[in-house]
Amino acid sequence: MNSQVFNRTKLPDFPGVYFFMKGKQILYIGKATSLRDRVRSYFSNDLIATRGPLLVDMVFKADKITFEKTDSVLEAIILEANLIKKYQPKYNTKEKDNKSFNYVVITREDFPRVLVERGRNLESNDTLFGSEKRFLLGKSDPISPQSIFGPFPNATQLKEALKIIRKIFPFRDRCKIGQDRPCFNYQIGLCPGVCAGLISKKEYSKIIKNISLFFEGKKTQIIKNLEKEMGFLAREHKFEEANKIKKTIFALNHIQDVALVKEEYKKTEDSLRIEAYDIAHISGSANVGVMVVLEDGEPAKNEYRKFKINNSRQNDVAALKEVLERRFTHEEWSFPQVIVVDGGKAQINIARKILESLSLKIPVVSVLKNEYHKPKAVMGDKNISSKYSNEILLANNEAHRFAIKYHRNTLAQKALI
């Protein structure tokens, strides 16, 4: 690798797709939760053990690395699949046989199903990367698909991705049309009620069209279409329907893909990121909140964040709620493995409530203080609190220090006005 061409320090800490190049030839395409961290991993001392000789050969042949950022890990997974299909890089196709790849299949029916299939289960006179007009599912009920998306190298990630997409655009997968009652997925909001005739063919086709556009990497087009439809419904005074579309647009702009982040980093799982939060004010004056970060037991001060409380006065729990809600709109920030809050059950409960609303399974602990504001106990997940007690107390102390400093600076600025 030519170190003058590739500078690892300039790669962004964003999700996206990276390209190992030799001249103008693409050798390999990969996806990343963090482009910076993922590409760095190719230059570790244990590369052969973790990646295998094939990718080691690729790294040594490459003379350049380029990348394309995405808004989320989910979109990186889809972009990777589309680009692998388009360019068929040598080391992607050599690393895994075409028949081992995974594909998303939308069936050709009045109410299409959305399924995940292995390449080996797809039969055609054409190659998987060629014309898709005559693909058949090689299962008990062969059917001609209207669309096939892929290849996706990782089946687990693809299934997690579909779970996220299905929360935004509920679809039919296995349920039968004409059932007496709606299927279980309808009851939990993952099927629009195709099975019980609760949605028309026309309305369901809109869902399928949006799913297709999403797998084509056209999220921007989906949002434009939805905004246009929302405007029309509002003008027709169909405000309830317009509000549903508004929620869908919000979901598309705030994709929660922590499950994909977890899967992406399952091989660096011993790395620990702790986020600690604290609130500071004097009788509601100069009300501020902070987030501090510990990575592997060390403060990551470049990732500390400050929040001026806008809506919550003299209420620490409400202020914490505001800070956490604002924090988790920033999906470009790495997600923590543990969250530490200052306080008791009320603080733990509000943090858990926010995480649950976002479908995030992150353990929360709180540090209880005595009358001298010194730590006396850690509440919450017992395994976490016992395993990482030193890190939790350090994070809490650092959050308190940072909050007090920010609060004093805020007071001083107000005094100068």
Domain boundary among 258, 285, 305: 258
Give pLDDT tens digits for 160-183: 889 889 999 999 988 888 887 888
Number of domains in the chain: 3
Predicted pLDDT at 313: 64
Domain boundary among 191, 224, 258: 258
In this structure, are 250 and 105 located in the same domain?
yes
- For residues 98 and 295, which has the higher predicted lDDT (pLDDT)? 295
pLDDT, averaged across the chain: 82
Contact of 164 with 148, CB cutoff 8 Å: no
Q: What are phi and psi of 43, to 5 degrees?
A: -115, 20
Q: Does residue 91 form part of some domain?
A: no
Q: Does residue 88 form part of some domain?
A: no
Give pLDDT tens digits for 281-295: 776 567 899 999 998
Structure confidence at residue 5 as a pLDDT band (50, 70, 90):
very low
Place of tokens 């982040």: 261
**Looking at residues 91-117, what average pLDDT do you find?**
79
In this structure, are 126 and 227 located in the same domain?
yes
Q: Is the dihedral of CA 126, 129, 135, 139 positive or negative?
A: positive
Structure confidence at residue 139 as a pLDDT band (50, 70, 90):
very low
Report helix, strand or coil for 263.
helix
DSSP class per residue in 20-42: EEETTEEEEEEEESSHHHHHHHT
Give pLDDT tens digits for 238-267: 899 899 999 999 888 888 676 666 555 444
List the domain range (segments joined by +) for residue 119. 98-258
**229 pLDDT more than 70:** yes
In this structure, are 283 and 362 located in the same domain?
yes
Beta strands in 47-166 (DSSP E): 64-69, 102-107, 114-118, 122-123, 136-137, 145-152
In this structure, are 277 and 412 located in the same domain?
yes
Give pLDDT tens digits for 317-349: 999 999 999 998 876 677 888 999 998 899 999
Q: Does residue 2 form part of some domain?
A: no
In this structure, are 230 and 173 located in the same domain?
yes
In this structure, are 186 and 223 located in the same domain?
yes
Reduce the secondary structure of 341-395 to three states and give it as a string: EECCHHHHHHHHHHHHHCCCCCCEEEEEECCCCCEEEEEECHHHHHHCHHHHHHH
pTM higher than the cut 0.75:
no
Contact of 351 with 341, CB cutoff 8 Å: yes
In this structure, are 230 and 277 located in the same domain?
no
Structure confidence at residue 271 as a pLDDT band (50, 70, 90):
low
Contact of 61 with 152, CB cutoff 8 Å: no
- For residues 412 and 97, which has the higher predicted lDDT (pLDDT)? 412
**386 pLDDT more than 90:** no
Domain boundary among 236, 258, 280: 258
Q: Does residue 76 form part of some domain?
A: no
In this structure, are 197 and 279 located in the same domain?
no
CATH code, domain with 32 = 3.40.1440.10
Beta strands in 216-284 (DSSP E): 273-282
